[in-house]
């Protein structure tokens, strides 16, 4: 059976007790050394500082941790989605412009399903097909190009909404978390000064630890807000580029449809 190597990670200096342990299986000497190094890295002054904070500040830190973890999950997921959409859009435009005809929408939609332009093309082709069928009294001509344009733009709106999914959470994280951290800081400073008045000491060394503990909340708020703000601005720029490309593609597609079916 495998043994467990355990190290104390979170020590309550006030009550002189260990709150949390880090444990890992002792499968080999190398892994055991890795466990020890990882535990020593986590057992830092910051960990001790967090252990000394009050529960209101800890609650604030837990809330900020949720915002940070969830926003990072969105950042990685959005990065993958936009990169895949951009790569497939380039390939879709190459396939669309490689012929003077209008390619079949089904194969293109299947091959480039991550591209917003492919879905716009499918919606536009459906509008074209309704006008050039044999039942159309105009004899297979495109009688209403505006209807094709409207269908493509509706699809563009839907794709923009899909690309902007969960972007509001990044904006909320960027704008709200600094104030949540500030609330924790103010609360911690209030507690520090209340403890100072109860102790009867007036030196800076008596109040400095409490203020340092409170400032951890501000640092945590900035740690959650800054990556979310950077990612939001970056991704919003890319999404706007997709919107411009979809508008340009709609004009290109409708112009080709009018040429072929006029």
pLDDT tens-digit readout, 106-146: 999 999 999 999 999 999 999 998 888 755 555 567 888 99
pLDDT at 262: 75
pLDDT at 18: 44
Q: What tokens appear for 166 in the block?
A: 């969960």
| Residues 155 and 122 sit within 8 Å (Cβ to Cβ) | yes
pLDDT greater at residue 33 or residue 244: 244
**How does pLDDT run across 173-186, given as a tens digit for each residue?**
999 999 999 998 88
Side-chain half-sphere of 146: how many Cα atoms within 13 Å? 0
Cα–Cα distance measured from residue 197 to residue 191, given in angstroms and rounded to the nearest whole number: 10
What is the share, in percent, of the chain residues with pLDDT greater than 90?
A: 52
> Span 139-163, mean pLDDT?
90
| Residues 190 and 213 sit within 8 Å (Cβ to Cβ) | no
Cα–Cα distance measured from residue 193 to residue 202, given in angstroms and rounded to the nearest whole number: 10
Q: What tokens appear for 10 in the block?
A: 């979170």
User: What is the residue-averaged pLDDT of the chain?
Assistant: 81
> Span 214-237, mean pLDDT?
93
pLDDT at 1: 44
CA dihedral over 5, 9, 13, 19, signed as positive or negative: negative
Cα–Cα distance measured from residue 165 to residue 7, given in angstroms and rounded to the nearest whole number: 42
| Residues 231 and 67 sit within 8 Å (Cβ to Cβ) | no
pLDDT at residue 261 tops 90: no
pLDDT greater at residue 188 or residue 38: 188
Q: What tokens appear for 80 in the block?
A: 């993958």
Q: Which residue stretches of the chain are H helix?
A: 29-42, 45-51, 55-97, 105-111, 116-132, 145-163, 167-199, 204-260
Give Cα separations from 259 to 27, 70, 74, 142 (angstroms): 71, 49, 43, 9
| Residues 246 and 85 sit within 8 Å (Cβ to Cβ) | no
Backbone phi, then psi, for 8, in 5-degree steps? -70, 130
What is the share, in percent, of the chain residues with pLDDT greater than 70?
A: 71
Q: What angle do CA 64, 69, 73 make, to 5 degrees?
A: 145
CB count, 10 Å around CB of 164?
A: 15
Backbone phi, then psi, for 113, in 5-degree steps? -65, -25
> Span 197-207, mean pLDDT?
64
Residue 233 CA to its chain's centroid (Å): 11
Report the chain's C-alpha Rg in angstroms.
29
């Amino acid at each position: 059976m495998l043994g467990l190597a355990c190290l104390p990670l979170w020590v309550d200096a006030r009550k002189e007790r260990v709150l949390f342990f880090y444990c890992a299986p002792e499968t080999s000497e190398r892994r055991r050394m890795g466990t020890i190094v990882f535990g020593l890295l986590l057992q830092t002054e910051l960990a001790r500082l967090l252990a000394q904070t009050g529960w209101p500040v800890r609650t604030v830190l837990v809330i900020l941790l949720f915002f940070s973890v969830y926003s990072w999950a969105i950042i990685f997921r959005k990065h993958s989605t936009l990169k895949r959409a951009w790569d497939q859009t380039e390939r879709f435009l190459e396939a669309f412009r490689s012929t003077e005809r209008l390619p079949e929408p089904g194969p293109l939609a299947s091959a480039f399903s991550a591209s917003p332009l492919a879905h716009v093309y499918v919606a536009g082709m459906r509008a074209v097909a309704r006008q050039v069928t044999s039942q159309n009294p105009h004899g297979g001509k495109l009688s209403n190009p505006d209807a094709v344009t409207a269908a493509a733009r509706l699809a563009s709106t839907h794709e923009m909404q899909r690309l902007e999914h969960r972007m509001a959470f990044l904006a909320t994280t960027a704008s709200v978390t600094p104030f949540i951290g500030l609330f924790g800081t103010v609360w911690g400073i209030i507690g520090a000064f209340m403890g100072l008045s109860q102790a009867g000491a007036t030196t800076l060394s008596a109040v400095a630890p409490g203020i340092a503990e409170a400032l951890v909340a501000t640092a945590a708020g900035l740690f959650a807000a800054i990556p979310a703000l950077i990612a939001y601005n970056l991704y919003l720029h890319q999404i706007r580029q997709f919107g411009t490309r979809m508008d340009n593609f709609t004009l290109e597609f409708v112009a080709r449809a009018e040429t072929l079916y006029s």
